[in-house]
C-alpha cells in the first residue's frame, strides 16, 4: 500500500553555464519514499518491487526556462536542465520550486502521493562573449598651453558581459607611439610634458580597451587634443582711451567688451564701474558760471552771511584771517580752530530765520583716525534772536552721519535732532549740502539729491544755550565754565551774558560757500539746477536688460554696479554703460575710469580672478563759441552833441552774434575721384554773456571834462552790476545777448562844455562762461568837431572856418590831437564833403601864392645885386641874408592844412628859438635888411602854429 509521501531536500543551489542546459545542483536531486521495499542480499524485502518508486518531478513557476527529469525511479535520482540555452545578460539568476511524486498503487498508479515543494536557486555563469565597446568613437578636447594636467579627458569603454570578470574593463592602452600622453586603467589621459601652442597645435592618437578576460575592444577610439594659447580670465575688447566730444550726449564706454572666463563656469558676476571726477571743480563737471550767475540762471536770489562780491561765506573778512585758504574761498579747518562770526545787528538781521530757512555749504570731510567715529564735529552753531525769542540750531558731522539740532524757542520748546547716515559725509570728496527747514519738516539735499532723516531724536534733557545772539563756524560753545557760578547761586541757573564760552567739537575738513536763505526755502528744482553734476555714468537700456540682471547707480552718478549670473547677458548689459555730460561747453580733461569685477564659481578651487580694467575718458576741448561784435567803427559829431545831457551813444547800432564752428565732412560726388577734405561750418547759437568791458585807448578819462553815461536803473532791473571808472566801464552778470545789446547801445560819451577834446578811441569786448570765452575787440573812434575862427593874414589867405575830419585811412601823424585853447568860438557843423573841398582848395591856393612869392623875391634880389657890389661886402651880405630870410619865410607859408597841429606847433617853437638867437647876435643886420614888404616875426609864428590867437579853438 502507498502509505508515505516522497521526500526531497528543502532547498537546492544550482549553476548553469551560459549557452549550456545542464544544471549542477547542490545537493544532488534525489527523492526518497518509505514505501519502497528494502533491498537485502540482492532482493527486495517487505513489498513488491513497484511500490515506493518515484515517477517524476514537477517544477512550479511561471515562465521557468527549466525542466526536471527522472533518471532512476527506484533510487529517485533526478536532473534539472534548461529547456533552451540561457543568457546571463538576460537573467543572471532563476528561482523556482520543485516537487517529487511517486508512482502510486497498482499498475494504474492510483493513490499517487507528492512531496513537499523545495526551492531551487539557479545562477547562470557568464561566458566572455562580448568585447569592450567605447562610448564615443572620437574624443575631442582643447587645453591651454604651458600646463601639466592631472586629467585632460577620460575615455570610457563598456562590456556587454554580465559577470564582473568579463564585464569590467581592466586597462586601456594608447596605440599611437611617441606622443606626450599617458592613460591609466580608468581611461584618464594626462600629458607628460607641457604643451606649447608654438609647437604642435593638435595631437591625434588611438586608444583601445581590454576587459578582465583580456578581450580587446572590437573598435578602437580616436582622441584629438587641441592646444590653445594661454587663457587669462579678463575683460577683452575694450579701449583704454575713450574720447568724448562735448555735446555728443551719451557715449558707450565699452561697446565691444566681453568677459573671458576660460571656460570656468560661474554662478555670480558683480562688476563696478567707477568714474573719478573729484579733480574737476568740486567733484564733477558743473556749469562754468560763477555761483552768483548760476543762481540767477536757476531763478533764485540769495542772502548770504557776508554781503559782498564773493556771494558766500566764509568770505575773506577779518574773522577768516586765521584759516588756511586752499583755493579761492575754500577754507581748511584743522580740528583746533573755529571762526566767531560777527552777528549782524538790527531789526532785519536774520529775519524769519526761526521759522524756516535754507542752509547750504560745500564740504569735504573724512573720518580722522585719531578722533574716531564717536566725536562730533560741528560745522555751524548759531543762536538767533527773533521777534518771538531766541532759537538755536547747529549742523554737525559724526563719523559718516550728519546731524542737525534745532531748538525753535529756548524758553519753551524742546530741541529736536535730525540724523542722516550717508557715505558722502566721510568719503573725503567734495559734496554740496543744502538743508531745507520748515519745522517740523527737514529735508537734506546732497549734490541735488534729496534725503529724508533716518532718525529723529527728542533731546529734551540738553541744557539750553545762552540767550545771546552768536554765530560760530567750525565749532560750537558750551556752558561748562559757568558751572561754578551756577553752583554758587542756586537760585540762578542761567549763565550771565558776556561770560567767556568754552569751545568744543571742532571741525576737521574743508568748507566753502556757506550761505543761508532766511524766511524762504529753495525749491528742489533750484537746488538740482545749482548743484547737480552735469556729468556721470549713465544706463538707459533697461528694456533689454536680461533676466537676473541688476543695475544700481549712486546719486552722484560716479559709481555704477551691475550684478548677474549669466556671462552672455552680463556682457550685453555692460556694453550699454555710458558716459554723459550735458554741458554744451564741458570742462576738457581726463576722467579716470575703473572697472572692478568679482565672480563666484561652482568650483572654489579653480575659481578665476578677473583683473581690474583701468582707462580714462578724455573730454575734448569744445568748439569755442565765436562772439562777434560789429557796428559803426567811426563817427564824428559836433561838440554840441557831446555836450548835451545825454551825450552821444558810442554803440548805436551794435550787433552781437555768437556762433560755433565745427568740422564737417564734405559730401563726395560719385564721379569725383579726388580727395575729400573737411570743411568748417558755423552755426549761430543762442547763448548768454556774463560781462562786457569798455576800455579807453590812450589816457584815462578826465572826470572834470568827460565821462561815460549809462542808466543804472536799467541794469538794476536786469540784475546786472556796473563798475564805472576813469579807465574802464564794466557790466557783469549773466544775461542774454539781446539784453546786452540793448544796454550797450545806451552807453553814451559826454564832454563838458568848453573842454578842448577832439578825439577818443574806445575798445569794447565781452565774455561768457565766467570769462572762459572772449569776443573780438571792437574799436570805436569818436571825433569831436569844433568851429575855429582865425584872422586874415596879410601874406596869404586863410579860410575863416576850418573843420578837421578824420576818415578811415588817415596818416598816423593826424591822430592824437590834444589842443588847449583860451576862448570859445561857436562850432558850425559841416558835411565831410564840404570840409574836403575847402581843404583841397586852400592847399592849392597856398601852393600858387608860394610860387608867386618866390618868383617876386627872386626878381627883387637880381635888381639889388649891382648896387650892393659897388658899396661893399656889407650890403651884399645883407642882401644874401635878406634873401635867405625871405626864402625861409616863403617856405613856411606852404602849410599842409591836413598836417598835425602838434607838428606845426613843434616846428614853430624850433623856428622861434632859432630866430630869437639870430636876432640877439645880428640884431642890427636883421633890422637893416628888412624891407617894407617883409612880415614881422609874429606873423611868422602864426603861420607855424595853425590858429594861434588869443581866442580858444576846438577841433
Instruction: Please tell me whether residue 27 adopts helix, strand or coil conformation.
Output: coil
Q: How confident is the model at residue 37 (pLDDT cuts 50, 70, 90)?
A: low
Asked whether the beta carbons of 218 and 207 are under 8 A apart, the reply is no
Which of 134-138, 433-437, 821-825 shows the lowest per-residue confidence on average (mean pLDDT)?
821-825
Q: Tell how far CA 443 is from the center of its chain.
A: 27
What is residue 947's predicted lDDT score, i.e. its pLDDT?
29
Share of the chain above pLDDT 70, in %: 70
> From CA 311, how far away is CA 686, in angstroms rounded?
27
Q: What is the pLDDT of residues 463-481, one digit of tens each?
A: 666 677 778 888 887 765 4
| More reliable by pLDDT, 117 or 547 | 117
Which of 111-115, 467-471, 728-732, 737-741 shows the lowest per-residue confidence on average (mean pLDDT)?
467-471
Homologous superfamily of the 11-125 domain (CATH): Cadherins (2.60.40.60)
Asked whether the beta carbons of 47 and 155 are under 8 A apart, the reply is no
Assess whether pLDDT exceeds 50 at residue 648.
Answer: yes
Choose among 704, 681, 802, 699: nearest CA to 752. Answer: 704
> From CA 300, how far away is CA 292, in angstroms rounded?
10
Averaged pLDDT for residues 829-836: 66
Cell of 572: 550685453
Phi, psi (deg, nearest 5) at residue 64: -80, 125
Q: Is 721 exposed, middle or buried (0-12, 13-18, 19+ CB in 10 A)?
A: middle
Homologous superfamily of the 133-228 domain (CATH): Cadherins (2.60.40.60)
What is residue 776's predicted lDDT score, i.e. its pLDDT?
92
Averaged pLDDT for residues 704-713: 88
Eight-state DSSP code of residue 704: T
Q: What is the pLDDT of residues 877-928, one digit of tens each?
A: 343 343 434 444 334 444 444 444 444 444 444 444 444 344 444 444 433 3
| More reliable by pLDDT, 88 or 100 | 100
| Domains in the chain: boundaries | 11-125, 133-228, 240-280+534-619, 309-487+500-526, 625-666+677-785, 826-944
Instruction: Please tell me whether residue 768 adopts helix, strand or coil conformation.
Output: strand
> From CA 843, how far away is CA 954, in angstroms rounded?
21
Asked whether the beta carbons of 240 and 595 are under 8 A apart, the reply is no
Q: What is the pLDDT of residues 235-263, one digit of tens each?
A: 999 999 999 998 888 999 999 999 988 88
Q: Is 542 exposed, middle or buried (0-12, 13-18, 19+ CB in 10 A)?
A: exposed
What is the enclosing helix (H) or strand (E) of 811?
A: none
What is residue 683's predicted lDDT score, i.e. its pLDDT?
53
Q: How confident is the model at residue 831 (pLDDT cuts 50, 70, 90)?
A: low
Beta strands 401-407; 241-244: pairing state: unpaired
What is residue 512's predicted lDDT score, i.e. its pLDDT?
83
Asked whether the beta carbons of 425 and 365 are under 8 A apart, the reply is yes
Q: What is the pLDDT of residues 781-802, one digit of tens each?
A: 999 998 765 333 433 333 333 3
| More reliable by pLDDT, 680 or 725 | 725
Which of 137-141, 367-371, 621-625, 669-673 shows the lowest per-residue confidence on average (mean pLDDT)?
669-673
pTM of the model: 0.52
Assess whether pLDDT exceeds 80 at residue 617.
Answer: yes
Assess whether pLDDT exceeds 60 at residue 955.
Answer: no
Instruction: Please tell me whether residue 940 adopts helix, strand or coil conformation.
Output: helix
Is the peptide bond preceding residue 27 cis, with omega within 30 degrees of 0?
yes
Assess whether pLDDT exceeds 70 at residue 345.
Answer: no
| More reliable by pLDDT, 351 or 92 | 92
Q: Is 917 exposed, middle or buried (0-12, 13-18, 19+ CB in 10 A)?
A: exposed
Percent of the chain that is helix, strand, coil (3-state, to 5): 15, 35, 45
The residues, any chain, with a CB within 8 Å of residue 109's CB and separated by 6 or more, are: 55, 103
Asked whether the beta carbons of 215 and 126 are under 8 A apart, the reply is no
> From CA 144, how far away is CA 192, in angstroms rounded?
14
What is residue 873's predicted lDDT score, i.e. its pLDDT?
39
Averaged pLDDT for residues 336-341: 80
What is residue 880's predicted lDDT score, i.e. its pLDDT?
38
What is residue 793's predicted lDDT score, i.e. its pLDDT?
41
Assess whether pLDDT exceeds 70 at residue 854.
Answer: yes
Beta strands 138-144; 221-228: pairing state: parallel
What is residue 166's predicted lDDT score, i.e. its pLDDT?
85
What is residue 382's predicted lDDT score, i.e. its pLDDT?
84
Task: Let me know if the fold of 11-125 is the same as that of 309-487+500-526.
Answer: no
Phi, psi (deg, nearest 5) at residue 593: -135, 135
Q: How many residues are there in the chain?
A: 955
| Beta-bridge partners for 634 | 781
CA dihedral 446, 448, 452, 454 (to 10 degrees): -20
Asked whether the beta carbons of 157 and 100 are under 8 A apart, the reply is no
Averaged pLDDT for residues 666-671: 46
What is residue 92's predicted lDDT score, i.e. its pLDDT?
85
> From CA 312, how far away is CA 361, in angstroms rounded?
9
> From CA 851, how far away is CA 814, in angstroms rounded?
26
Averaged pLDDT for residues 221-227: 95
Cell of 66: 527549466
Grid cell 590831437 in the structure block, residue: 817
Cell of 465: 544755550
Averaged pLDDT for residues 496-525: 75
Which of 144-158, 599-613, 623-637, 825-839 shows the lowest per-residue confidence on average (mean pLDDT)?
825-839
> From CA 170, how far away is CA 185, in angstroms rounded?
6
What is the enclosing helix (H) or strand (E) of 639?
A: helix 639-642
Grid cell 544532488 in the structure block, residue: 28
Asked whether the beta carbons of 366 and 428 are under 8 A apart, the reply is yes
Averaged pLDDT for residues 926-942: 37
Asked whether the beta carbons of 630 and 638 are under 8 A apart, the reply is no
| More reliable by pLDDT, 823 or 236 | 236
CB atoms within 10 A of CB 726: 14
Kindly provide the b/e burial profile for residues 331-367, where b requires at least 16 CB atoms within 10 angstroms of the residue's own CB: bebebeebbebeeeeeeeebeebbbbbbbbbbbbbeb
Range 309-487+500-526 has CATH code 2.60.120.10 = no
What is residue 263's predicted lDDT score, i.e. its pLDDT?
80
Is the peptide bond preceding residue 105 cis, with omega within 30 degrees of 0?
no
What is the enclosing helix (H) or strand (E) of 732?
A: strand 728-736
Averaged pLDDT for residues 219-245: 91
Q: How confident is the model at residue 714 (pLDDT cuts 50, 70, 90)?
A: confident
Q: How confident is the model at residue 107 (pLDDT cuts 50, 70, 90)?
A: confident
Asked whether the beta carbons of 808 and 634 are under 8 A apart, the reply is yes
Cell of 822: 583860451
Which of 175-179, 746-750, 887-891 shows the lowest per-residue confidence on average (mean pLDDT)?
887-891
Kindly provide the b/e burial profile for residues 214-251, where b requires at least 16 CB atoms within 10 angstroms of the residue's own CB: ebebeebbbbebebeeebebbbeebeeebebbbeeeeb
What is residue 755's predicted lDDT score, i.e. its pLDDT?
82
Q: Is 822 exposed, middle or buried (0-12, 13-18, 19+ CB in 10 A)?
A: exposed
Share of the chain above pLDDT 90, in %: 25
Assess whether pLDDT exceeds 60 at residue 438.
Answer: yes
Which of 138-152, 182-196, 896-910 shows the lowest per-residue confidence on average (mean pLDDT)?
896-910
Asked whether the beta carbons of 52 and 35 are under 8 A apart, the reply is yes
Assess whether pLDDT exceeds 60 at residue 111.
Answer: yes
What is residue 99's predicted lDDT score, i.e. its pLDDT?
92
| More reliable by pLDDT, 36 or 821 | 36
Classify domain 240-280+534-619 at the CATH topology level: Immunoglobulin-like (2.60.40)
Is the peptide bond preceding residue 314 cis, with omega within 30 degrees of 0?
yes
Instruction: Please tell me whether residue 877 adopts helix, strand or coil conformation.
Output: helix
Amino acid at each position: 500500500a502507498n502509505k508515505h509521501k516522497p521526500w526531497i531536500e528543502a532547498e537546492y543551489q544550482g549553476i548553469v553555464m551560459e549557452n549550456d542546459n545542464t544544471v549542477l545542483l547542490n545537493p544532488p536531486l534525489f527523492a526518497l519514499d518509505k514505501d519502497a521495499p528494502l533491498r537485502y542480499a540482492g532482493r527486495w524485502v517487505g513489498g513488491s518491487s513497484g511500490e515506493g518508486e518515484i515517477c517524476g518531478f514537477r517544477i512550479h513557476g511561471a515562465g521557468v526556462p527549466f525542466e526536471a527529469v527522472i533518471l532512476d525511479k527506484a533510487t529517485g535520482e533526478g536532473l534539472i536542465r534548461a529547456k533552451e540555452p540561457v543568457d546571463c545578460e538576460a537573467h543572471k539568476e532563476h528561482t523556482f520550486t520543485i516537487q517529487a511524486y511517486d508512482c502510486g498503487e497498482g499498475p494504474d498508479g492510483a493513490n499517487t502521493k507528492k512531496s513537499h515543494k523545495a526551492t531551487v536557486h539557479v545562477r547562470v555563469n557568464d561566458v566572455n562573449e562580448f568585447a569592450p565597446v567605447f562610448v564615443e568613437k572620437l574624443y575631442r578636447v582643447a587645453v591651454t598651453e604651458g600646463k601639466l594636467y592631472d586629467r585632460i579627458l577620460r575615455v570610457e569603454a563598456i562590456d556587454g558581459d554580465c559577470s564582473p570578470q568579463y564585464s569590467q574593463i581592466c586597462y586601456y592602452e594608447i596605440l599611437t607611439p611617441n606622443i606626450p600622453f599617458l592613460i591609466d586603467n580608468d581611461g584618464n589621459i594626462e600629458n607628460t610634458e607641457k604643451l606649447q601652442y608654438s609647437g604642435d597645435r593638435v595631437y591625434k592618437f588611438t586608444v583601445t580597451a581590454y576587459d578582465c578576460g583580456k578581450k580587446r575592444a572590437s573598435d578602437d577610439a580616436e582622441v584629438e587634443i587641441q592646444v590653445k594659447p594661454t587663457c587669462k580670465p579678463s575683460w577683452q575688447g575694450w579701449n583704454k582711451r575713450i574720447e568724448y566730444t562735448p555735446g555728443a550726449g551719451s557715449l558707450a564706454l565699452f561697446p565691444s567688451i566681453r568677459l573671458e572666463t576660460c571656460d570656468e563656469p560661474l554662478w555670480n558676476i558683480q562688476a563696478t564701474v567707477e568714474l573719478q571726477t573729484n579733480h574737476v571743480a568740486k567733484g564733477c563737471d558743473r556749469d562754468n558760471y560763477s555761483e552768483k550767475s548760476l543762481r540767477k540762471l536757476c531763478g533764485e536770489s540769495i542772502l548770504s552771511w557776508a554781503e559782498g562780491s564773493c556771494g558766500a561765506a566764509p568770505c575773506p573778512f577779518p574773522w577768516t584771517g586765521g584759516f588756511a585758504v586752499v583755493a579761492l574761498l575754500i577754507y581748511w579747518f584743522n580740528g583746533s580752530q573755529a571762526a566767531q562770526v560777527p552777528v549782524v545787528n538790527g531789526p532785519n538781521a536774520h529775519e524769519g530765520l526761526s521759522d524756516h530757512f535754507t542752509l547750504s555749504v560745500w564740504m569735504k570731510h573724512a573720518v580722522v583716525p585719531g578722533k574716531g567715529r564717536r566725536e562730533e564735529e560741528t560745522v555751524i552753531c548759531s543762536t538767533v534772536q527773533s521777534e518771538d525769542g531766541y532759537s538755536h540750531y547747529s549742523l554737525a558731522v559724526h563719523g559718516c552721519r550728519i546731524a542737525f539740532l534745532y531748538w525753535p524757542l529756548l524758553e519753551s520748546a524742546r530741541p529736536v535732532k535730525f540724523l542722516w547716515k550717508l557715505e558722502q559725509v566721510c568719503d573725503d570728496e567734495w559734496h554740496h549740502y543744502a538743508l531745507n527747514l520748515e519745522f517740523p519738516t527737514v529735508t537734506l539735499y546732497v549734490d541735488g539729491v534729496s534725503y529724508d532723516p533716518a532718525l529723529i531724536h527728542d533731546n529734551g534733557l540738553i541744557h539750553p544755550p545762552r540767550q545771546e545772539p552768536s554765530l560760530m563756524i567750525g565749532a560750537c560753545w558750551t556752558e561748562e565754565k559757568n558751572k561754578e557760578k551756577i553752583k554758587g547761586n542756586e537760585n540762578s541757573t542761567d549763565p550771565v551774558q558776556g561770560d567767556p564760552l568754552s569751545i568744543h567739537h571742532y571741525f576737521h575738513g574743508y568748507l566753502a560757500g556757506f550761505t543761508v536763505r532766511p524766511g524762504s526755502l529753495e525749491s528742489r528744482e533750484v537746488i538740482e539746477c545749482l548743484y547737480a553734476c552735469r556729468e556721470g555714468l549713465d544706463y538707459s537700456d533697461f528694456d533689454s536688460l536680461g533676466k537676473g540682471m541688476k543695475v544700481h547707480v549712486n546719486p552722484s552718478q560716479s559709481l555704477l554696479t551691475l550684478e548677474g549670473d549669466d556671462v552672455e547677458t552680463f556682457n550685453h548689459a555692460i556694453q550699454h554703460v555710458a558716459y554723459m555730460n550735458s554741458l554744451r561747453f564741458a570742462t576738457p580733461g581726463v576722467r579716470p575710469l575703473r572697472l572692478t569685477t568679482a565672480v563666484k564659481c561652482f568650483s572654489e578651487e579653480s575659481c578665476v580672478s578677473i583683473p581690474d580694467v583701468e582707462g580714462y575718458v578724455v573730454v575734448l576741448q569744445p568748439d569755442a563759441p565765436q562772439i562777434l561784435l560789429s557796428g559803426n567803427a567811426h563817427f564824428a559829431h559836433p561838440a554840441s552833441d557831446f555836450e548835451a545831457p545825454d551825450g552821444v551813444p558810442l554803440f548805436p547800432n551794435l550787433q552781437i552774434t555768437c556762433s560755433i564752428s565745427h568740422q564737417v565732412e564734405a559730401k563726395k560726388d560719385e564721379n569725383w575721384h579726388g580727395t575729400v577734405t573737411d570743411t568748417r561750418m558755423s552755426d549761430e547759437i543762442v547763448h548768454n554773456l556774463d560781462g562786457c568791458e569798455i576800455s579807453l585807448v590812450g589816457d584815462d578819462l578826465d572826470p572834470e571834462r568827460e565821462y561815460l553815461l549809462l542808466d543804472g536803473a536799467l541794469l538794476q532791473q536786469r540784475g546786472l552790476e556796473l563798475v564805472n571808472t576813469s579807465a574802464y566801464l564794466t557790466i557783469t552778470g549773466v544775461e542774454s545777448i539781446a539784453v546786452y545789446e540793448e544796454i550797450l547801445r545806451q552807453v553814451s560819451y559826454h564832454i563838458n562844455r568848453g573842454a578842448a577834446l577832439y578825439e577818443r578811441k574806445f575798445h569794447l569786448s565781452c565774455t561768457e562762461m565766467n570769462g572762459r570765452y572772449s569776443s573780438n575787440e571792437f574799436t570805436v573812434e569818436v571825433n569831436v568837431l569844433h568851429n575855429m575862427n582865425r584872422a586874415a593874414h596879410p601874406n596869404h589867405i586863410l579860410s575863416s572856418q576850418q573843420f578837421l575830419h578824420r576818415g578811415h585811412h588817415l596818416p598816423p601823424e593826424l591822430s592824437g590831437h590834444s589842443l588847449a585853447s583860451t576862448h570859445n568860438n561857436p562850432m558850425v557843423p559841416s558835411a565831410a564833403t564840404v570840409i574836403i573841398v575847402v581843404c583841397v582848395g586852400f592847399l592849392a591856393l597856398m601852393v600858387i601864392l608860394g610860387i608867386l612869392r618866390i618868383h617876386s623875391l627872386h626878381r627883387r634880389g637880381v635888381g639889388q645885386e649891382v648896387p650892393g657890389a659897388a658899396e661893399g661886402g656889407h650890403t651884399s651880405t645883407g642882401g644874401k641874408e635878406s634873401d635867405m630870410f625871405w626864402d625861409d619865410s616863403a617856405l613856411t607859408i606852404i602849410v599842409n592844412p591836413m598836417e598835425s597841429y602838434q607838428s606845426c606847433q613843434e616846428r614853430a617853437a624850433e623856428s622861434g628859438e632859432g630866430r630869437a638867437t639870430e636876432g640877439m647876435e645880428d640884431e642890427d643886420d636883421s633890422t637893416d635888411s628888412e624891407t617894407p614888404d617883409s612880415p614881422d616875426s609874429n606873423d611868422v609864428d602864426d603861420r607855424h602854429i595853425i590858429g594861434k590867437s588869443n581866442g580858444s579853438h576846438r577841433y
